[in-house]
Amino acid sequence: MTQDRNKHFYLGKTVAIADNEKLTAKARQSLYTARAEHTITAYRSDWNDFCDWCEYHDVPFFPAAAETIVNYINDLADHAKANTVARRISALTENFDAAGLPENPCRMPLVKNAVRGIKRMKGTAQQGKLPILFDDIKEMLTYLEGNTLQRARDKAILLVGFYGAMRRSEIANLDVGDIRFTRLGMLLTLRKSKTDPFDRGQMIAIPYVADPQICAVRALKEWLQESGITGGPLFRGFTKTHSLRTNRISDKTVALLVKQYVARMGMDPRDYGAHSLRHGFATSAAQHHVEERQIMRQTRHKSQTVVRRYIDEADRLIDNPIFKITEQK
């Protein structure tokens, strides 16, 4: 089953606006830009996640049946928070509304009841994902699988995501043009980020490290060389025949990749996700007594409260009174 997901992403250019002959071209343009660009980008990411699931299960994503929506969000709820499920439903609802469908499947009682049930089962307050620490990353790289191209991509994603303390959407949205290699390492420009609501752009510096096996700069160069990618999306998926796709990976792919390698290490994948890379960098830096200011510069956190939570988490294991009790002579 082949469908064009981009053709059926209607947010930003709704059918209702385009077909309204009473509106001038200028009026249409103002309505097209009513939502912030970063909101449209977030909705597009949610739409792509839904399309990925539908393609995997060989069911149509447009128009989608209410049963398809229900099955999707129940699978999503296995590894996502209830609030994430609600946000995905919101994105799908908005897109189907923008498409001008006479009956929006997300507004049907079956879907509303499913969302309500998921919220009751999971609750809205959940534990965050556990961090993947520096030693974990080193071990994880010993479990790389697939052909040379896939191993190169996975290694680059894990190392860039960890050293860059990146969110999964930031990893998925990287383009080749966002990378600038220098004599000392590389600079990554994030065109869109959760903490950059006005899309001014944020820069991440990742230097070369002495050990080439855990160097993100060398790993990314190897991926570019092996893939032959010279422009467009930086990280891409593979077809069933293992050839390289032209479109970028979704943020869900990053989460599934992390879970895949965590499971191979013998850890419970339910406890980990893409955010474990970002969380793990901050915690690892705190364990090595990196100053709070330096951690925040790399993680781009605006709130000291969040970073101090990571530092406190690390301190509880490093400066624990149990050591003084058990190591006394």
Which of the residues 88, 129, 167, 168 is marked catalytic? 167
d(C-alpha 173, C-alpha 193), whole Å: 10
Q: Which of 248, 275, 279, 300 is catalytic?
A: 275
Residues 6 or more apart in contact with residue 256 via CB below 8 angstroms = none
Q: Which of 194, 242, 245, 288 is catalytic?
A: 194
Chain position carrying tokens 């009751």: 120
The answer to whether 9 and 94 have CB atoms below 8 angstroms apart is no
5 assigned to active site:
no
Is 81 among the catalytic positions? no
d(CA 329, CA 318): 19
Give the integer Cα–Cα distance in Å for 207 and 229. 22
Q: Is 194 a catalytic residue?
A: yes
Query: Are the beta carbons of 253 and 241 closer than 8 angstroms?
Result: no
CA distances from 229 to 208, 234, 245 (A): 21, 7, 11
Instruction: Indicate which residue of 81, 88, 300, 301 is catalytic.
Output: 301
Beta-bridge mates of residue 289:
none
275 annotated active-site: yes
208 is catalytic: no
Tell me if 157 sits within 8 A of 224, measured CB to CB: no
The helix (H) or strand (E) run that includes residue 204 is: strand 202-207
Written as six digits, the tokens of 1 are 């089953």
- Active site (annotated) includes residue 192: no
The active-site residue out of 44, 155, 248, 278 is: 278
> Angle CA(26)–CA(31)–CA(37) in degrees, nearest 5?
115
What are the residue numbers of the active site?
Answer: 167, 194, 275, 278, 301, 310
